Structure 1
Amino acid sequence: MADWMSDLPGAARAYLNGKRLDEVECIIPDLPGIARGKAVPASKFARQDFFHLPDSIFYQTITGNWGEAAGEDGFIEKDMTLRPDMATATAAPWTGDWTLQVIHDAFDREDNPVPFSPRNVLKHVVQLYRDKGWEPVVAPEMEFFLVGRNLDPKQEIRPMMGRSGRPAAARQAYSMTAVDEFGPVIDDIYDFAEAQGFEIDGITQEGGAGQLEINLLHGDPVKLADEVFYFKRLIREAAMRHDAHATFMAKPIAEEPGSAMHVHHSILDTKTGENIFSDAKGKETPAFFHFIAGLQTHMPAALAMIAPYVNSYRRYVKDNAAPINLQWGHDNRTTGIRVPISAPKARRVENRMAGMDCNPYLGIAASLACGYLGLIDGKKPAAEYKGEAYDGEGDIPRSPNQALDMFDQATRLHEVVHPEFARVYSIVKRAEYEEFLQVISPWEREHLLLNV
């Protein structure tokens, strides 16, 4: 036990300093990004190199039902081998005892990475970059709402009650007073993040009532996806300590803007460490434009991965802080693809399409996959958009069904993310959409019941 503990990341060692570790949560993200796995006593974890779960965890829809994606062997729920990535070991500081979480990777019976495991999908895409001598770097932004406890799904979601005793106010973007309203929750978020070894680049109030944004420092795509995966859990736990819920729905409140997971991208040359988006004179390179062209060309088909639910498409509303097309522009927040102001060494491309409801591994993998195809193809993007892109035409799918139709036809995208992942993902998401169609909404009862 002592030798195993000495190899833990620094933050985990600091968290356990002088304490007795009770339990280890062995977890793996499924297609929606839910943590699946099992909790084991620390003494047992010290003796095990792996554990098993059935591959059916990747065939589950968000409701807990299954898509018929098992393949030619049938739905026999074959065991996968799950091995810990000890670099991901981190605290679970909200628990009543001393607990660590460890993310695991999935392998099949022949010890090959399971291709439809989301973390493996992202690793596969990152390796394609590295095979070309490129090192992708990302920086995600996480938007979410703090809302009142919602115990009845039939009830509309309401903003959280703030310190003042009044519901959170909307239209207060960047207000420090608005941030102070949620001070106790934010304090716990900071404390949990520190215990887990995560560095927050900043927290701001967004435009929605009770809507906040957390920015993370740039780094390795898999590491950052791990952090977003962990952050979603720790933010939920912090909110529940204060009689509130944290939600990462793309559009939880009808009258408010939606929540995005904007992803900033830059690519380094593996040999020189230089940003390939800038040349020796600090100018934009052909690779910079090729990456943008890849996003414009392939993102409509990849939208199924970054906008995975019916609710995701409610976010793409004109003039409501979300893009409606894949235009690009410098320092223009109305475009789907934005080039932020930066020094040449930090030149980057921001993909503003992904919703915060996406699986972070799949959202980042989809964006990188599109950029990769752009770099390979060497095409030029459309002309830079000047002015408000909300005035332009929408050029993205408007429903999961339409997005999945485009995804199914995108064979080149499938080769980048892995064809077997594409097969399973499409089946599960179509099953999920069919489940949604079985639900009759309040709008239908109000306007159709007595009028048609």
Structure 2
Amino acid sequence: MADWTQKFPEAARAYLEGRRLDEVECIISDLPGIARGKAVPASKFAKQKHFHLPDSIFFQTITGDWGEAAGDDGFIEQDMILKPDMDTATAAPWTGDWTIQVIHDAYDGDGDPVGCSPRNVLKRVVALYAERGLTPVVAPEMEFYLVARNIDPAKEIEPMIGRSGRPAAARQAYSMTAVDEFGPVIDDIYDFAEAQGFEIDGITQEGGAGQLEINLNHGDPVMLADEVFYFKRLIREAALRHDCFATFMAKPIADEPGSAMHIHHSVLDAKTGKNIFVDAKGKDTDAFYHFIAGLQNHMPAATAVMAPYVNSYRRYVKDHAAPINLEWARDNRTTGIRIPISSTAARRVENRLAGMDCNPYLAIAASLACGLLGLEDAVKPADEFRGDAYEGEGDIPRVLGDALDMFEEATRLHEVLGPDFARVYGIVKRAEYDEFLQVISPWEREHLLLNV
């Protein structure tokens, strides 16, 4: 290996041991979480300290259209300076040659972080915790579906065909037989993850037909968001090897549960390393309750970030493994905020609102932002919920338009996430929503064409 590759993490160095690096993919997340960037020969990457992309990549909707979010200078597509974070260097083991991916951070011409870059948004929130002597820790859970190849948008999505030759069955949560149906895909997921240096805490069958969940170990929010960003790509690539698609849509199949990205949070005292959610006797602290209150009070306005598409809101259905409100309870999966069984040192708060269609940087940033505002407000949450929270009333937005209205008015949340991000995000998502409203759905044609 060349000397400069010795800066790579151990897993990337091991992947290249005895091999010649051919190419480096220089990537950055856009607002939806799609990897944007350039692939360059390794010899060129070795000589460059940065590269450029236009800031317009953050103004683009999921459909490829544009939001008018360029600011006072107009749509001039000025270049950003993208600098590599060598700690993120990891293999791209599905490629035909020896390729390494490196995540980059975005800066403007003055050297300041670009405020609407998702990774910068999360770094900003983590820095606000650090200013208060706190270290946030998160652990994401990733749910997704393996589905049959679908190249016709008019066709309903169907479960993939498993090893048995039968479509994946629903309502087989935690079934090892169901997991075995996807064995070849899962084997490739494990192999790709190992080559990239990622530690999987476990893979389980979820309640939907062809739905799986991957849990990641807890750690630094930016590092974990990087891993989810990478994981979405490696899972898609593993599925394509076996003639199926991996989808992270929040609700891909009408009668099946949706896919979430549950986020577990704890907060440490930066000096002592102690979890601030418990005291020396292992009892819940005021900070524990304040964090929960922050989620309850501010997550309705943050929903547009955690549930970013019109499809996201189809997931919030009673009795379908997704929350309909922000009640909190211990070891109760019907509530939006759950306190899992754990040791006192591992006391944590689980946010069950975010869908797997979110941008991991933005969803984690928004969730931490809500908790931080709760710590600052120092108010108590609602009383702990008892029973089945699906019997209660919903208190989260039901459609993207309402969620965007709430987000656009949430000035305190904007200050934490960054005013420039809030401005750009609101404009781009509103453009995307307006575009959706121009689409006439099959439901409308079926029920309205001749009946109204």
Q: Residue 331 of structure 2 aligns with which residue? A: 331
Matched residues in 2 for 1:362 and 1:263: separation?
12
Matched residues in 2 for 1:396 and 1:218: separation?
27
Describe how 1:406-425 pairs up with structure 2 within 5 A. Answer: 406-425=406-425
Q: Residue 293 of structure 1 aligns with which residue? A: 293
Q: Residue 180 of structure 1 aligns with which residue? A: 180
Q: Residue 97 of structure 1 aligns with which residue? A: 97
Matched residues in 2 for 1:135 and 1:320: separation?
34
User: How far apart are 1:45 and its partner, in Å?
Assistant: 0.1
Q: Residue 165 of structure 2 aligns with which residue? A: 165
User: How far apart are 1:435 and its partner, in Å?
Assistant: 1.0
Describe how 1:88-127 pairs up with structure 2 within 5 A. Answer: 88-127=88-127
Q: Residue 128 of structure 1 aligns with which residue? A: 128
User: How far apart are 1:439 and its partner, in Å?
Assistant: 1.1
Q: Residue 203 of structure 1 aligns with which residue? A: 203
CA RMSD across the alignment: 0.5
User: How far apart are 1:263 and its partner, in Å?
Assistant: 0.3
Q: Residue 192 of structure 2 aligns with which residue? A: 192
User: How far apart are 1:446 and its partner, in Å?
Assistant: 0.5
User: How far apart are 1:346 and its partner, in Å?
Assistant: 0.2
The question of 1:247 aligning with 2:258 is answered no
SS of 2:229's equivalent?
helix
Matched letter for residue 291 of structure 2: F
Matched residues in 2 for 1:5 and 1:54: separation?
28
Residues matched between the structures, number: 452
Q: Residue 363 of structure 1 aligns with which residue? A: 363
Q: TM-score, normalised by structure 2?
A: 1.00
Matched letter for residue 442 of structure 2: P
Q: Residue 77 of structure 2 aligns with which residue? A: 77
Greater than 3 Å deviation, 4+ residue runs:
none
CA deviation digits over 1:59-79, x for unaligned, max 9? 000001110000000000000
Describe how 1:270-419 pairs up with structure 2 within 5 A. Answer: 270-419=270-419
Matched residues in 2 for 1:4 and 1:302: separation?
41
Q: Residue 226 of structure 1 aligns with which residue? A: 226
Q: Residue 6 of structure 1 aligns with which residue? A: 6
Matched letter for residue 140 of structure 1: P
Matched residues in 2 for 1:2 and 1:203: separation?
36
Describe how 1:150-161 pairs up with structure 2 within 5 A. Answer: 150-161=150-161
SS of 2:136's equivalent?
strand
SS of 1:47's equivalent?
coil
CA deviation digits over 1:342-363, x for unaligned, max 9? 0100000000000000000000
Matched residues in 2 for 1:8 and 1:14: separation?
10
Matched residues in 2 for 1:216 and 1:371: separation?
21
CA deviation digits over 1:138-184, x for unaligned, max 9? 00000000000001111000000000000000000000000000000
The question of 1:268 aligning with 2:281 is answered no
Matched residues in 1 for 2:12 and 2:71: separation?
40
Matched letter for residue 224 of structure 1: L
Percent identical among aligned pairs is 81
User: How far apart are 1:2 and its partner, in Å?
Assistant: 2.1
Q: Residue 137 of structure 1 aligns with which residue? A: 137
User: How far apart are 1:421 and its partner, in Å?
Assistant: 0.4
Matched residues in 2 for 1:379 and 1:194: separation?
44
CA deviation digits over 1:297-356, x for unaligned, max 9? 000000010000000000000111100000000000000000000010000000000000
Matched residues in 2 for 1:296 and 1:207: separation?
27
Matched residues in 2 for 1:125 and 1:6: separation?
31
Gaps of 5+ in 2: none
Q: Residue 15 of structure 2 aligns with which residue? A: 15
Matched residues in 2 for 1:448 and 1:174: separation?
42
CA deviation digits over 1:278-297, x for unaligned, max 9? 10000000000000000000
Matched residues in 1 for 2:66 and 2:77: separation?
11
Q: Residue 212 of structure 2 aligns with which residue? A: 212
The question of 1:238 aligning with 2:238 is answered yes
Matched residues in 1 for 2:205 and 2:430: separation?
35
Matched residues in 2 for 1:316 and 1:7: separation?
44
Matched residues in 1 for 2:147 and 2:15: separation?
30
SS of 2:46's equivalent?
helix
Matched residues in 2 for 1:5 and 1:80: separation?
25
Matched letter for residue 182 of structure 2: F
Q: Residue 39 of structure 2 aligns with which residue? A: 39
Matched residues in 1 for 2:363 and 2:417: separation?
11
Q: Residue 86 of structure 2 aligns with which residue? A: 86
Q: Residue 450 of structure 2 aligns with which residue? A: 450
Matched letter for residue 267 of structure 2: I
User: How far apart are 1:3 and its partner, in Å?
Assistant: 2.0
Matched residues in 2 for 1:6 and 1:363: separation?
33
Matched residues in 1 for 2:63 and 2:101: separation?
24
Matched residues in 2 for 1:339 and 1:445: separation?
45
Matched residues in 1 for 2:12 and 2:347: separation?
33
Matched letter for residue 38 of structure 1: K
Matched residues in 2 for 1:218 and 1:81: separation?
31
CA deviation digits over 1:101-123, x for unaligned, max 9? 00000000100000000000000
Matched letter for residue 70 of structure 2: A
User: How far apart are 1:438 and its partner, in Å?
Assistant: 1.4
Matched residues in 1 for 2:22 and 2:451: separation?
61
Matched residues in 2 for 1:158 and 1:438: separation?
26
SS of 1:77's equivalent?
coil
Matched residues in 2 for 1:55 and 1:175: separation?
46
SS of 2:66's equivalent?
coil
